[in-house]
Structure 1
Amino acid sequence: MITITKAKIDDLDKLVDIDNMVIGSKNRRNIIQQSIQLEQCLISKEEEEITGFLIYDTNFFECAFISLIIVSPSHRRKGFASALINYMVTISPTNKIFSSSNRSNVSMHKVFEKNEFIRSGIIENLDEGDPEIIYFNELPTEVSLFKRVKAVVQR
């Protein structure tokens, strides 16, 4: 069973290890730590094992922006990214949620589309020859309110 919770500082080393498995570097440690401290980092677990994480903020035109979704290689294509996104939607501090992925990341595009995100734009020149595709999801006010109340009750 997949569970999603807010990350705690005790999770930091495990999250950095998962990030290192995916990108081959531990250079995002400070970003992950700051996100945990700001309570803007969610983790997915299967039983007690951390399987992935999501980082977000509200600095993108005052809208929620999912800046990073990482799932450990051994847990990919098992619903962890979708579970993280769905939970984020329930707790989002804004009705508009944005995210992005390189054009070459076909798997992530499928995850966004499966979770009712639509393409919203493109940014050139971040990674040479691999533009960033922006995704968007907007919750109707009544759905947003219902999901947020439900999320609070479940905590």
Structure 2
Amino acid sequence: MNVRAPAVRIRAAVCTDLPALISLDSVAADDPRRAVQIGQWLADGHMHVAELDDTLAGYRVQHRHFFGEAFIEMLMVASPLRGHGVGSALLLHATSCSAGARLFTSTNQSNANMQRLLAAAGFQQCGIVHGLDEGDPELIYRFATDDVR
């Protein structure tokens, strides 16, 4: 018997997504500042969401504030839906939207799951920043493209 994998759909976030975005964010449950930040990202138009079988499953925030280059500031997948392709779909969408342009992101050294996800999506570590989170350096990644500007 063949079982169809649920399809992940990526779309631009809209204002009515705000309650679901706050609900799925694992940090917002304990830090009300994250809910405000999510609202700001949404208002700025820098957010895409992933839907899995018509349920909001994750989001990605991307801007060009990293030395003028595209940067994924946040990638969040609802805890119960991790490992179902949502993060991969959000990264694939980001790389396809970048179409050969440079694309960067970062994650803490302690976040091994995100590091594996980035490597599987074709990102390569290209730097490190100490001092943002004490004792947990921020690893910088670049999407590996064939182009050189």
Q: Tell me if TM exceeds 0.5.
A: yes
2:19 maps to which residue?
A: 13
Closer, same or farther: CA 122–49 of 1 in aligned 2, 3 Å: same
8 Å Cα contact 2:77/2:87 also seen in 1: yes
Q: Does 1:36 align with 2:69?
A: no
Shift of the alpha carbon at 1:121?
A: 0.4
Closer, same or farther: CA 114–22 of 1 in aligned 2, 3 Å: farther
Q: Does 1:79 align with 2:48?
A: no
8 Å Cα contact 1:95/1:140 also seen in 2: no
Match of 2:118 among 103, 112, 132: 112
**What pairs with 1:88-107 in structure 2 (closer than 5 Å)?**
88-92=94-98, 95-107=101-113
8 Å Cα contact 1:19/1:25 also seen in 2: no
Deviations 1:33-82 (A, max 9, x none): 23223321011111210001010110101101101011011000111111
Shift of the alpha carbon at 1:21?
A: 6.0
Shift of the alpha carbon at 1:15?
A: 0.4
Please, what is the CA RMSD of the aligned residues?
1.8
Bigger helix fraction: 1
8 Å Cα contact 2:21/2:59 also seen in 1: yes
Equivalents in 2 of 1:20, 1:26: separation in Å? Answer: 11
1:145 maps to which residue?
A: none
Match of 2:143 among 137, 152, 155: 137
2:24 aligned partner, one-letter code:
I
Q: Structure 1 stretches of 5 or more lacking a match?
A: 142-155
8 Å Cα contact 2:8/2:51 also seen in 1: yes
Shift of the alpha carbon at 1:138?
A: 4.6
1:74 aligned partner, one-letter code:
P
Shift of the alpha carbon at 1:103?
A: 0.3
Report how many residues are paired.
141
Q: Structure 1 residue runs of 4+, over 3 Å off? A: 20-23, 138-141
Fraction of identical pairs, as percent? 28
Deviates more, 1:85-94 or 1:112-121: 85-94
1:124 aligned partner, one-letter code:
H
Equivalents in 2 of 1:18, 1:27: separation in Å? Answer: 15
8 Å Cα contact 1:19/1:26 also seen in 2: no
Match of 1:69 among 72, 75, 79: 75
Match of 1:52 among 58, 65, 78: 58
Deviates more, 1:19-28 or 1:38-47: 19-28
